[in-house]
Amino acid sequence: MVARITMVGFGLLASSIAAAIKQAKLPTKIRAVSSPATLKRARELELADEFFEYDETEKWAKDSDLILLCAPILHILKMIDALGKVSWAGANAGREILVSDIGSTKVEICKAGVRLPAPFRFVGSHPMAGSEKRTCEYNDPAIFENAYWFVCPPDGTPESVYAPLLEIIRFVGANPVVFPPEHHDRTMAWVSHMPQMLSSTLAGNLPERLLKHNYQHFAGRAFRDMTRIAASGWGMWHDIAVTNRDETTRALCEVRDGLDKTIAAMNGLNVVKDGKPASGNFENDEHSVVADNSQALADIFKAGNDGRASLFAPGRNNTNSFYEITVQLKDKPGALLSVMQPLAEEGINIRDIELMKVRENVAGTLLLAFKTQEEAARAVKTLQYLEYEVKERR
Alpha carbons 247 and 184: distance in angstroms, whole number:
10
Backbone angles phi, psi at 247, to 5 degrees: -70, -35
CATH superfamily of 4-179: NAD(P)-binding Rossmann-like Domain (3.40.50.720)
Q: Parallel, antiparallel, or unpaired for β 124-127 and 276-277?
A: unpaired
Domain boundaries, the chain: 4-179, 181-267, 269-318, 322-393
CATH, domain 322-393, list 3.30.70.100, 3.30.2130.10, 3.90.1140.10, 3.30.70.260 = 3.30.70.260
Q: What is the pLDDT along the chain (394 residues), one digit of tens a residue?
A: 899 999 999 999 999 999 999 999 999 999 999 999 999 999 999 999 999 999 999 999 999 999 999 999 999 999 999 999 987 655 555 689 999 999 999 999 999 999 999 999 999 999 999 877 789 999 999 889 889 999 999 999 999 999 999 999 999 999 999 999 999 999 999 999 999 999 999 999 999 999 999 999 999 989 999 999 999 889 889 999 999 999 999 999 999 999 999 999 999 998 887 777 766 555 554 545 444 689 999 999 999 999 988 887 655 555 556 788 989 887 778 888 999 999 999 999 998 888 765 555 455 788 899 888 899 999 999 999 999 989 887 6
Nearest to 100 by CA among 187, 13, 40, 35: 13
Q: Is 270:292 a contact under the CB 8 Å cutoff?
A: yes
285 CB neighbour count, 10 Å cutoff: 8
CATH superfamily of 181-267: 6-phosphogluconate dehydrogenase C-terminal like domain (1.10.3660.10)
Alpha carbons 394 and 378: distance in angstroms, whole number:
17
Q: Parallel, antiparallel, or unpaired for β 120-122 and 97-101?
A: parallel
Q: Is 43:103 a contact under the CB 8 Å cutoff?
A: no
pTM confidence score: 0.80
